[in-house]
């Protein structure tokens, strides 16, 4: 996805480590800290897909190569949705940007609410770099919590109400001009656990891309 010379380029979040400061969160592994550093034209991005947390091993990150676990499962999710993709580069060419709400890998099963709120400051800066985005896909509860934290901090209404994701899917939710699609985590081993969730992820991806293509 290489822009022409007159389009301008963006390498997201190159200096974000300074923003994070002392890495205060105790329930994540700071050694697995990672953020997207991919060259792209921000104006071509229409969909922001926010997953849960960085992988435990950085080599599994979305942009770490075709054999990276996050890349593999996300490519499979887009194929399930009917898209002919074979790499993360192909997904970027669809106008979809991939990131996580929490920039460090998990130490345990869950992530503390305070950790999500803290890292949401980084996410807010990151999302603001894409003025042409029309869709925000929130892949899992952590991503939903993070965007709700951003909204609440700015005095905006809660973006996605409390409730089970399967009940919230397809709702009419908005955040700063973007239509919001709450869904399930598509990155990592949890993608393979439950067939119905995988089907719902595919449905949500298809719906999000259909919305963008129709607008």
Could you tell me if residue 7 is inside a domain? no
- Distance, CA of 167 to CA of 164 (rounded, Å): 5
Could you tell me if residue 194 is inside a domain? yes
Could you tell me if residue 51 is inside a domain? yes
Instruction: Please give the pLDDT value at position 31.
Output: 87
Instruction: Please give the pLDDT value at position 204.
Output: 98
Number of structural domains the chain divides into = 1
- Distance, CA of 33 to CA of 22 (rounded, Å): 12
Could you tell me if residue 108 is inside a domain? yes
Could you tell me if residue 176 is inside a domain? yes
Instruction: Please give the pLDDT value at position 12.
Output: 59
Which residues are registered as beta bridge partners of 50? 99, 138
CATH of the domain at 116: 3.40.470.10
Could you tell me if residue 115 is inside a domain? yes
Q: pTM for the complete prediction?
A: 0.92
Instruction: Please give the pLDDT value at position 39.
Output: 87
Instruction: Please give the pLDDT value at position 6.
Output: 34
Could you tell me if residue 1 is inside a domain? no
Tens of pLDDT along the chain (215 residues)?
333 333 345 555 554 444 576 788 988 989 899 988 888 999 999 999 999 999 999 999 999 998 999 999 999 999 999 999 999 999 999 999 999 999 999 988 889 999 999 999 999 999 999 999 999 999 999 999 999 999 999 999 999 999 999 999 999 999 999 999 999 999 999 999 999 999 999 999 999 999 999 98
- List the domain range (segments joined by +) for residue 31: 16-214
Instruction: Please give the pLDDT value at position 48.
Output: 98
Cα dist from 29 to 102, 105, 115, 123, whole Å: 11, 5, 12, 18
Instruction: Please give the pLDDT value at position 22.
Output: 76
Could you tell me if residue 11 is inside a domain? no
Q: Rounded to 5 degrees, what angle do the CA atoms 158, 94, 116 make?
A: 30
């Amino acid at each position: 996805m290489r822009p022409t010379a007159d389009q301008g380029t963006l390498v997201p979040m190159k200096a974000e480590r300074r923003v994070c400061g002392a890495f205060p969160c105790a329930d994540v592994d700071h050694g697995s800290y990672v953020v997207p550093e991919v060259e792209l034209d921000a104006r071509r991005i229409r969909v922001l897909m926010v997953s849960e947390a960085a992988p435990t091993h950085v080599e599994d990150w979305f942009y770490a190569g075709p054999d990276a676990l996050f890349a593999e499962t996300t490519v499979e999710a887009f194929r399930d949705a009917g898209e002919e993709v074979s790499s993360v580069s192909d997904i970027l060419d669809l106008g979809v940007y991939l990131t996580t709400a929490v920039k460090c890998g998990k130490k345990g099963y869950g992530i503390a609410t305070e950790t999500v709120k803290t890292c949401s400051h980084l996410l807010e800066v990151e999302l603001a770099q894409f003025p042409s985005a029309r869709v925000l896909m929130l892949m899992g509860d952590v991503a939903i919590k993070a965007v709700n934290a951003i909204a609440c901090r700015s005095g905006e209404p809660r973006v996605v109400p409390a409730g089970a994701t399967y009940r919230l899917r397809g709702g009419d939710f908005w955040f700063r001009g973007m239509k919001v699609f709450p869904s399930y985590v598509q990155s990592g081993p949890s993608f393979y656990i439950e067939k119905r969730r995988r089907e719902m992820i595919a449905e949500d991806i298809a719906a999000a891309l259909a919305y963008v293509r129709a607008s």
